[in-house]
Structure 1
């Protein structure tokens, strides 16, 4: 294969690699929430909400304490919120994407990178 053909194939290969990476990042943004349920309590001192977690199909997996990381995305009723978690959220449903480990306490605790409250 001549050097001219090799050089002309390089942009095509780069384009295909770029498109493949772009599709993967879009798929990651559509990932299902890790925690989904009703906010049942608020702990002001730690800035956490207790969510009665339900897995897919309505199977209960138990409550979990959730706090937000510093730069977490908090969306309340479709709008990006600038306020922190508070007691007015009790009784509302929430979808949560976690960004780390779940502490094996009772109930478990974790931090969220994104929380959508309906």
Structure 2
């Protein structure tokens, strides 16, 4: 292969690699929540909620205590909340993204970097 052909192919390969990496970054930005389920309890002293964690296809994986990280984002019914977790959230569904370790206690405990609380559904 001549040097001219090699010089033409090289930028084309770089372009394909760049496009592939950009697509992967967009997918990572839409990461699924680590915890999803119903808030069943609130611990005022530790400012944490107990979520009955449900994995994909409604398979329960057990309860987990969630508290907010210092710079966590709390979204309630589509709006960023300025308040912290409280007992009014019990009974609502939540999606949680965690950013660290899960303490191996029972139930396990962790800190959230983002929690999305959904509005109450009429029974």
Question: What's the TM-score bracket when you normalise by the shorter of the two chains?
Answer: 0.7 to 0.9
Unaligned runs of 5+ in 1: none
Question: TM-score if structure 2 supplies the norm length?
Answer: 0.80
Deviations 1:16-75 (A, max 9, x none): 555444322221121111111000111111110000111111111111000111111111
Unaligned runs of 5+ in 2: 119-123
> What residue in structure 2 maps to residue 50 of structure 1?
50
Please identify runs of 4+ aligned residues in structure 1 that moved more than 6 A: 8-14
The two structures, once aligned, show a CA RMSD in angstroms of 2.1
Question: TM-score if structure 1 supplies the norm length?
Answer: 0.83
- Secondary structure at the residue paired with 2:22? helix
> What residue in structure 2 maps to residue 27 of structure 1?
27
CA 1:70 to 1:13, structure 2 compared with 1: closer, same or farther past 3 Å? farther
Number of paired residues?
117
